[in-house]
Structure 1
Amino acid sequence: MANMISWNGRRADIAIDLGTANTRVAARGSGMVFDEPSLCCFSNGGTRPRLVAAGEAVRAMVDRTPDSLKVTRPLRRGVLQDIDATRELLAYAMSSSLGRRRLRAPRVAIGIPADATQAERSALLTAASDAGLGPVSLMSEPFAAALGAGLAVHRPEGSMIVECGAGTTEVAVISLGGICLTRSVRIGGAALDTALADHFHFRRKFLIGEITTERLKCDLVRLLGAPDGEESQMIEAKGRSLTSGIPGVQQVLVSELRPVVAKHVAHIVEVVRDVLNQTPPELSHDIHEKGLTLTGGSAAIPCIGQAITAETGLRVHIPDHPHQCVMLGLEAMLAS
């Protein structure tokens, strides 16, 4: 594995999981040293936007900024949407995590969706260079997730990984240290947030903000994973009525929101089925014997694993820390 993230025999110093929701950094020999939201806040004054804050400090600012400030997510659906914000976030992550220990130009391995276009890859490399990083190697996120989940990626047998991140869902079949088959869709936890907000908007004529939607999703996931009978429970959402314009609170049954989650999950199951339909017979047999592994922050949604098993008959394994598997895989590459 060392040759995958080495430059003339020299190993990478830093691994970065640059995600839609969170950015994580690991340093060789130190483990994970940074884990904060992928958020930046810029001042709109002057000829050029000025960075005001990044990471965790921006979370409380979301949907609360005056006209003079703008909160930006550098990535949307797993890929760059703002190269300047990406540069600033990377620079902030390096400064916050390494401080005075920072190398002049550290060699870096960064995770990226397996189906990222050449333009998307070039944009990320440019942002990393502008942030003061040294040589950058872009690593396939599903492969890193499989490695971080403890799968035997180098053995002559098929392993299937379903990496459900905030911006993308990637399904891959891996064998002999490489990806044999992969498919990515720009559907992730953030898409479920949007679907829940749209449900309140169009069905209840009630507007809820980004942070409220995220909290609502977390409460919903917790109740959907609880024993039977929890669907009669209520979830609270704070926001503003679109008819009266008055702020308020709405109570919603878990059962009302289940179809929203089910529609989201159905898209993921469809991708899994498509990959299975294209998998060569011997690899398909391996997957049938072992099942598949579900990683990413959205792996916490219990309906996903249940729906995959119901539709395919495959066992679904979820690691102890599914949201950290990409980072753990990249970190393992640093140590190899």
Structure 2
Amino acid sequence: MVLKYFRKVDFPLFFAFLMLCMFGLIMVYSASYPIGIIKYQDPTYFFSKQLRWFLIGSIVFIINSILPYRLYGKLSPLFVMLSIMLLLLVLIPGIGVERNNSQRWIQLGIFVIQPSEAVKLLMAIYFAYIYAKKQTYLHDFNRGVLPPLFVLASVFLLVLKQPDLGTATSILLTCGIILLCSGVRKIHLFILGSSAVVGVSFFAITAPYRLRRLMSFLNPFDDPLGDGYQLIQSFYAIESGGVLGRGLGNSIQKLGYLPEAHTDFIMAVILEELGIFGLLFVTILYLFIMLRGVSTARKLTNAFPKLLAIGLTFQIMIQVIFNLGAVSGLIPITGITLPFISYGGSSLVFMLFSAGILVNLSSSARDSKGQFSL
């Protein structure tokens, strides 16, 4: 059994995920040791917790790279109910944990988990499975396309209630890409896409704090000590790193200047310490994962694994785009972490869950010569 697994596993993809995680552990320590000393008198506080989550996530990763992926399709109705239940639990006082004016976490004994990280994965599995089943009548909007969208709308609104428009939008986009690749008629896609853009825009501008964040993104220097502060500090970090960087561990902005230096804005620290080479290292690995995922989807013949490979690949890449775009000031700050690199236990474990399934799918898509290709 073990030898059979090692003969078929997609090792290049396997090691791409592993390298991102290893790099992430190094950068979490580098970015977090000042705040660890200040808050907990322990420079390894955040690193130790991230390492524990990585070990848990590694077990999940290996298990999911072996388990038959068809099992996830059969369990997808349960996943939908679990997603909605978790998102409802978050909103219940005494169960949901509030941090920074957001209620996005649940306390489970000594662990604090963020259910929306699980929901990203579960919704991708559900959409891949349900639209694979509906292939014969996708031309019928009411029967083939519409029913799962009520589930998506419910999940979107529950995540938005936390409030977390960034995560809600990333779930919407991932499911939208699965829908796009499922074979839905173009007119239906246009109607749904237009409705989604209008809906997200409405929620973005009607909440005062979201509108302020949007305005600060357009010109952060209008409010340098308020809503524009974090982005300005990110700019300082990127600029001071230059091409070669200050050197690993030598960031200035992480010393109390840049908020969330080890989470949402860890890429600013990477650029400050490692310069353009840190960005290139990360970008090449992400691009390899994207190309491998798309190649896997093209090779698979059945609708469910094909749509699942697309969904999981772009679930990762959407978060990458959201995070890098926010750090560089190209899109508004969303609070989305950088996959496999940023500090955050729930994000790391469920990203490794997705990665394990993607390695599983890629290993199943080997060509007739037993070789892999992009």
What TM bracket, shorter-length normalisation?
A: under 0.3
Which structure is richer in relative contact order (CA contacts within 8 A, separation 6 or more)?
2
- Structure with the larger helix share: 2
Structure-2-length-normalised TM-score = 0.24
